[in-house]
Amino acid sequence: MRSLIFAAAFALTAATAHAADTKPVAENGWSRATAVGQSVGAGFVTLRNPGDTSDKLVSASSDAAAKVELHTHINDNGVMKMRAVPEIEVPAKGSVTLAPSGFHLMLMGLKAPLTEGQHVPVTLVFEKAGAVTTHLMVAGPGAKEAPANHAH
């Protein structure tokens, strides 16, 4: 049933696809401090699409990492595993939250450890809207949610 709904939603998206006149917005980006020598970090952010057509996050990049992949978690017989995904859809007038245990940005090849309080610049590229820049506020190691606020 669920796959039917997704298929229907996808068909509708394809049929109505045209240039979005309002860009998706990235809000409350955050990450976690990493240990020295740790080469990867995770990024979380809420993507809100105020436009009338759905859009897709298709790639991301950051000066802090050699590359940024789009990942999700899947439950493989009780074991949570990460998988790269080609895109993350953001529905029209809707939002998607990248969060622990779900979709996330994977910062591969960190150039330096991420430190608590740091702002990590990230460029998100959407299929229709193009590049949207944002930043990830680095929380403590193992944090389960975004820092309470962007205290500077």
Q: Which residues bind Cu ion (CB under 5 A)?
A: 71, 82, 106
Distance CA 129, CA 92 (A): 12
Tell me the closest approach of the beta carbon of residue 12 to Cu ion, in angstroms: 30
**Residue number, 82 or 99, with CB nearest to Cu ion:** 82
Q: How far is the CB of 67 from Cu ion (least distance, A)?
A: 12
CA 43, 41, 72, 59 torsion: positive or negative? positive
Least Å from the CB of residue 83 to Cu ion: 8
CB of 20 to Cu ion, least distance (A): 27
98 or 137: CB nearest Cu ion = 98
Residue nearest to Cu ion (CB): 71
d(CA 47, CA 44): 10
Of the pair 20, 42, the CB lying nearest Cu ion is at 42
Strands 55-61 and 130-139: unpaired
Q: What are phi and psi of 44, to 5 degrees?
A: -130, 145
